[in-house]
Amino acid sequence: FTVLALESSADDTCAAVVTSDRRILSNVVVKQHKEHEKYGGIHPFVAIEAHQRNMPGAVRRALDEAKMNVTDVDGIAFTRGPGMGGCLSVNANAAKTLAAALNKPLVGVHHMQAHALTPLLTSPPDQIPKYPFLTLLISGGHTLLLLARSPTSFETLATTNDESIGQTFDSVSKLLQIPWSSLGPGDALEKFCLTSPDLHDTPPVITPPFPRPMPKRLQFSYACLHSHVERYVATKDAPLGNEERLALARAFQRAAVGQLEEKVLMGLERCQEMGVSVGHLVVSGGVASNMFLRERLRICLDLFSKKHSPIRLVFPPPSLCTDNAVMIAWASMHRFLAGDYDDYSVTLRSKWKIEDLLKTDEELAY
């Protein structure tokens, strides 16, 4: 079964072709960072216009790169939510029109479910995570630690009541005046931390220690790390020097990742208490492309595995951690194969909890 998928929930315009036998035939991502950098973040109207401009060409390229005729596609998938309403409508309208014109089935996908299921597509056949597994979704809009029991059953163990980790990386990067990379301000902060040979080693203490929020609770909080940097910058009369910016960026990255390590260990303990045996931790979402984070989580889980039961750490390749349509195609596959399609009247859900994946609009009382 071959799926053409579209994704436009935030600031990347994406199209991809993926098959049910786990082949990625194409993966087109059109970035918008040049349009948004001057606004300091994603400007909704600019994003909608860019999606409208870029989507037809992205679909054409996805088919060309897959060396396929559109009539050879068996189904059309798109991101139904969560995401920015106007942006979602671009991929939804394009997908519905393609499905209607081609008389092919249509499936609307949950964006975070798609981030979570990506490693099931990208892992080598003998290393595919088995349910139940723990999944850490760290992105621009979410910080979630979930227990995945099946492709459609997710239980939230921890979330954030304030900012997401991706948002905080972005804000701190801007406070430190780091120019965006093509992957945005968060990626730029990671690269900035590597600009000196003494890898991730904070020079002699010049920054006050970062707070460690809610140490006993299985809950994330990133706003306090953001305000810590904000306060520090505000107390300075002159612009920060390079050494100071570097020390602050590294100390922030360490604190942000340290919180993930701590809560993952708590999540594993919680699973043990619940009597659920998990063998994998799947980490996905844009922030999961951060290499420092990958290294730290690996060390943390190696230690845990030595003391307790072995836990295998699984990441998608960095290019499939940030938004892409490959993950949308893959997350739609089980529904296409089961003949469980959506109508053309399927609604968008800009807010949509992953626990409510299978709920109808009536059940959600929209």
Footprint on this chain of ligand ATP (rule: CB under 6 A): 9-10, 83, 111, 115, 139-142, 166, 169-170, 183-187, 190, 285-287, 289-290, 322-323
Judged by CB under 5 A, the residue of 135, 139, 143, 324 near Fe ion is 139
Q: Give the CA distances from residue 128 to residues 22, 119, 151, in Å, rounded to whole numbers and listed in that order.
A: 12, 7, 13
Residue 66: phi and psi, rounded to 5, are -80, -5
Cα distance between residue 162 and residue 174, in whole Å = 19
Q: Taking the complex as a whole, how short is the minimal distance between the CB of residue 287 and ligand ATP, in angstroms? A: 4
Cα distance between residue 347 and residue 190, in whole Å = 37
In terms of residues, how long is the chain? Answer: 366
Identify whether the C-beta of residue 14 lies closer than 8 Å to the C-beta of residue 323: yes
Q: Taking the complex as a whole, how short is the minimal distance between the CB of residue 117 and ligand ATP, in angstroms? A: 13
Cα distance between residue 348 and residue 202, in whole Å = 45
Q: Taking the complex as a whole, how short is the minimal distance between the CB of residue 185 and Fe ion, in angstroms? A: 15
Q: Give the CA distances from residue 259 to residues 164, 172, 290, 313, 345, in Å, rounded to whole numbers and listed in that order.
A: 12, 16, 15, 17, 42
Q: Taking the complex as a whole, how short is the minimal distance between the CB of residue 44 and ligand ATP, in angstroms? A: 12
143 binds Fe ion (CB under 5 A): no
Query: Whose Cβ is closer to ligand ATP: residue 272's or residue 319's?
Result: 319
Nearest to 174 by CA among 189, 159, 195, 190: 189
7 binds Fe ion (CB under 5 A): no
Residues linked to residue 27 through DSSP beta bridges, in sequence order: 16
Nearest to 25 by CA among 90, 87, 70: 70
Query: Whose Cβ is closer to ligand ATP: residue 74's or residue 162's?
Result: 162
Q: Binding partner of residue 297 among ligand ATP, Fe ion, none, CB under 5 to 8 Å per kind?
A: none
Judged by CB under 5 A, the residue of 12, 163, 190, 323 near Fe ion is 323
- Stretch of residues binding Fe ion (CB under 5 A), selected from 19-27, 136-144, 232-240, 243-251: 136-144
Q: Binding partner of residue 142 among Fe ion, ligand ATP, none, CB under 5 to 8 Å per kind?
A: ligand ATP
Q: Binding partner of residue 185 among Fe ion, ligand ATP, none, CB under 5 to 8 Å per kind?
A: ligand ATP
Q: Taking the complex as a whole, how short is the minimal distance between the CB of residue 91 and Fe ion, in angstroms? A: 13
163 binds Fe ion (CB under 5 A): no
Binding site residues, Fe ion, CB under 5 A: 139, 323
